[in-house]
Structure 1
């Protein structure tokens, strides 16, 4: 069985319970495989990054295997406005955040299960130049930190990097430690370019944080909010508290 998110933002939980930890979010248009299902909950695996979790059955729509496979093959069109809305044939409004996928998009229209929606905002669907990574990251400046979040209303560190890269046409895995397995290692901080990713670990050596490198050894990352700090050989130097907050583990070139 397969499904698609037909609401703006839906929590993906670690257990099938409304009080369970939110580990990520489904954004409108996210397609997935249904691994198992009960009366209220379904365990799903997202097509985009293979991430798994539980979603309330009332918060998605089932789609055919044929539609799922077609979506896997076709170009992905994403809403490029920070926040906008779509309308169906009865002029019902649904808000969607930046990064929402528009299935089978063509000429300001898209469809889910033969239901036609209209979207008149900006879209993005092609690989963009590396400089666009930093330009896109700026859109999320001052977004509050939210564990599991992936939108301008709340975002975590790896949700931030994943969403920014997705909008520029490049897939990243969901969590920082998974993203750190991608790309090419840079030996020295002097080799980095704007758009590269810097990863940071804890005292146990586990990668727990990620940010996007900017010009002049600045870094934009989600820590309390999406903010800009300084990056040096030790890690992130917080310009407000005047102290290091994260220990640098590795810098990676993704594109």
Structure 2
């Protein structure tokens, strides 16, 4: 088994081993992974934090020893808290990184980063983190404020509070405790929505007073009722409510 780490701000993770393939997710700076398959120009990886798999350009990774991988895995994880910040390389050049980058691994890349205080871990902190991303454009497979999808958004918000969510909405829906009614929900709980075939395809973060913040076109705030998400601008329900889950 081989192991690696991402040395650049963000790398696309693709469904197949080619540049024209669909981007299914992104790998952020400092995230580490197992290499489960190799080709000449591509490697298939399994991310350590959520076990998500996909193909990444071999030029956008650095291999690490198994001992280093396990040392990182045992250590405390720290993440960039600002929407945009910088990493300093050993030659004094800078690279831009985004919120959620795994900066506690910078030393393994011979980089330096000024670690900040640990993020809070209550539900009001979840909402504060979510509001930082307000108006971020929607991007299928995206995980940064420059482009993010619905489950990438909720995963990042929870990550900043030290809680692990899986990558896709359908996977996240299997986590946590089911709530029977909207009235039982608290800010920070997750609402999941399904399509006409009954497959869960969307997720958002519940706010106070029957509002929800979610990534749909952009990270936006809409109304939430027993039917689903009501878009005030378009005067219609855009998503059908399936289930509400309490994660923390």
Q: TM-score, normalised by structure 1?
A: 0.94
Give the Å deviation of 1:129: 1.2
* Pairwise CA RMSD: 1.1
Matches within 5 A, 1:233-248: 233-248=226-241
Cα deviations across residues 154-208 of structure 1 (Å, max 9, x unaligned)? Answer: 0000000000000111000000000000000001110000000000000000000
Q: Which position in structure 2 is the counterpart of 1:112? A: 108
Structure 1's unaligned 5+ residue stretches are 105-109
Matches within 5 A, 1:1-255: 1-104=2-105, 110-113=106-109, 115=110, 117-120=111-114, 122=116, 124=118, 128-255=121-248
Give the Å deviation of 1:82: 0.4
Cα distance in 2 for residues equivalent to 1:119 and 1:44: 25
Cα distance in 2 for residues equivalent to 1:185 and 1:201: 16
Cα distance in 2 for residues equivalent to 1:231 and 1:241: 14
Give the Å deviation of 1:119: 1.7
Give the Å deviation of 1:18: 0.1
Cα deviations across residues 75-128 of structure 1 (Å, max 9, x unaligned)? Answer: 101010100111122101111000000235xxxxx4125x2x22236454x561
Give the Å deviation of 1:134: 0.6
Cα contact 1:81–1:121 (8 A) shared by 2: no
Cα contact 2:103–2:115 (8 A) shared by 1: no
- Superposition misfits of 4+ residues, deviation over 2 angstroms: 120-124
Structure 2's unaligned 5+ residue stretches are none
Cα distance in 1 for residues equivalent to 2:237 and 2:112: 47
Cα distance in 2 for residues equivalent to 1:142 and 1:221: 10
Cα contact 1:200–1:249 (8 A) shared by 2: yes
Q: Secondary structure at the match of 1:227?
A: strand
Alignment size in residue pairs: 247
Q: Secondary structure at the match of 2:104?
A: coil
